Amino acid sequence: MALPQSSPQAANEPLAQLADARCPWCDQPISHEKFDDIRERIEAKERERSAEVERRLKTQVETKARAEIDAAQKAAAAAIENAKQDAAKRELAVREEARKATEAAMAQKLAEAENAKKNAEQQLRVAKATQDEQLKHALKEQREALEKANLETVNAEKAKAFETQLKFQERLQELQRQLQKKTAEELGEGAEVDLFETIRAEFPDDRVTRVDKGTPGADIVHKVVHNGKVCGCIIYDSKNRTAWRNDYVTKLRQDQLSAQADHAILSTMVFPAGARQLHVQDGVIVVNPARAVVLAQILRKQILQTHTLHLSNKARDEKTALLYAFITSDRCCQLFERMETVSEDMLELDVKEKKSHDATWRRRGELVRSAQRAQGDFLAEIERIIGTAKDEHEQ
C-alpha cells in the first residue's frame, strides 16, 4: 500500500514518527542520510524565504515611515513658515503702533521741554537782573565800608590809645598762634608741635633733656624732680607721620626698659586701627599731641605720690595699671572733652572781647574827630569875631 505524498509541513515533523524514510516530493524510499540532507535544504529554503519576507516587510515599513516623516516635516515647515509670516506681520504692526506712540510721546515731551526752557530762560533773566542789582549794592556797601574803615584807621592812629592797642595786638597774636596750633593738631598739618619746648616750659623745675639725633634712646627724657631729688622718669617720642607703624611702640618700649623709665609717651596724630586720641599698647601710651601735656601732668603727679608713699614695685605696678585703665576709659575721655570745650569757650570769649574793643576804639575815634571838628569850628568863630580870620579873597 502506497503512502500519500507528504507536504512541506510534513517534512518538518520528527523523523521518529516516520516508519520509512521517503522523499517528501516523489514519495520514493530514500536513505536516512539523503532524507536529512533534503530536510536541511528545505529548512534553509524556508529560512531564506522568511528572511526575504521580513526584509520586504521592513523595507515597506521604513519606506512608509520615511514618507510619513517627510510629510510631517513638510507640514511642520509649512506651519513654521506660516507662523513666521504671521509673527512678522504682527511685529510690523506692533512696531508701527510703537513708532506712532513714541512720536506722540516725544512730541509732547519736546513741547514740555520747550516750555520749560522758556520758563528757565525767563527765570534766569530775572535772577541775573536781581543778582546784578544785589552785586552793585554789595559793591557799593563794600566800597563805602572800605572808605570808612580806611578813614577810621587813619584817625585811630592819631588817637591817644596807641599803647593800649599795642598790648591788645600782642594778645591777639598770642590768640592767633593758639588757633593755628589747634588747627594743625586737629588736621595733622602745618608745623610740628615742639614737644620738648612745651614740656620744658610746663615743668621748669624738672630736668627735661633732648636726645641728639643718631643717639640711641627716646627723643625726650623727663626726670621728675621733687625737693632737689629725682623721683622718677618719663620718656617721650614725637612722630609726625601719615601712617601708623607698630615698631614705633616697640622701639619706645625698648627705650623705656633701657632707661628704666616709669612711663613712655608716644605723641602722634596717627593711631592704630580702632583707636583715637588716647591708647595704651604694650605698656606705651599713644596720645594726641594736644593732650600730651595734660597726660604728662597726670603721670608726674602719680610719680610724686608713688615716691611719697614709698610703695613697693608690685604696688607701683598695680597703681600704674589702674592709672592706664582710667586714662583709656570713657570717663577720662569725657573729662578731656570737657576741658577742651572749656578751653574753646575761653578762646571764643577772648575773640569776642577783641571785637568789642575794636568797636569801642572805632567809636572813640569818631568822638575824637567830632571833638576836633567842634574845636576847629569854635576857633574859627572866635577868629571871625576878633577879626583875625583871613578874608576868602586873600586866601
> Using CA atoms, how far apart are residues 65 and 71, in angstroms rounded to an integer?
10
Q: Which of 27-36, 196-205, 333-342, 343-352 has the largest mean confidence? A: 196-205
Q: Which residues contact 95 (CB under 8 A, 6 or more apart)?
A: none
Q: 58 versus 19: which is more confidently predicted?
A: 58
Identify the bridge partners of residue 234 per DSSP, sorted by sequence position: 222, 263
pLDDT at 376: 73
Number of Cβ atoms within 10 Å of the Cβ of 195: 21
pLDDT at 265: 93
What are the CA-CA distances from residue 215 to residues 29, 143, 218, 256, 314 (Å)?
138, 61, 9, 15, 32
Q: Are strands 278-281 and 263-268 parallel, antiparallel or unpaired?
A: unpaired
Q: Which fold has domain 192-328?
A: Trna Endonuclease; Chain: A, domain 1 (3.40.1350)
Tens of pLDDT, residue by residue over 43-54, are: 888 888 888 888
Number of Cβ atoms within 10 Å of the Cβ of 222: 28
Mean pLDDT of the chain: 76
> Using CA atoms, how far apart are residues 37 and 32, in angstroms rounded to an integer?
9
pLDDT at 43: 86
The predicted model scores a pTM of: 0.41
Q: Is the pLDDT of residue 69 over 70?
A: yes
pLDDT at 388: 56
Count the residues in the chain: 395
Average pLDDT in the 8-13 region? 46
Average pLDDT in the 299-305 region? 88
pLDDT at 17: 42
pLDDT at 264: 93
What is the H or E stretch that residue 231 is in?
A: strand 229-239
What is the H or E stretch that residue 284 is in?
A: strand 284-287
- Residue with cell string 575824637: 368
Q: Is the pLDDT of residue 128 over 80?
A: no
The answer to whether 206 touches 198, Cβ cutoff 8 Å, is no
Q: 214 versus 324: which is more confidently predicted?
A: 324
pLDDT at 89: 86
> Using CA atoms, how far apart are residues 131 and 137, in angstroms rounded to an integer?
10
Confidence grade of residue 359 (pLDDT, cut at 50, 70, 90): confident
Class of residue 32 by CB neighbours under 10 A (exposed 0-12, middle 13-18, buried 19+): exposed
Q: Which of 316, 245, 318, 322 is nearest to 286 (CA)?
A: 245
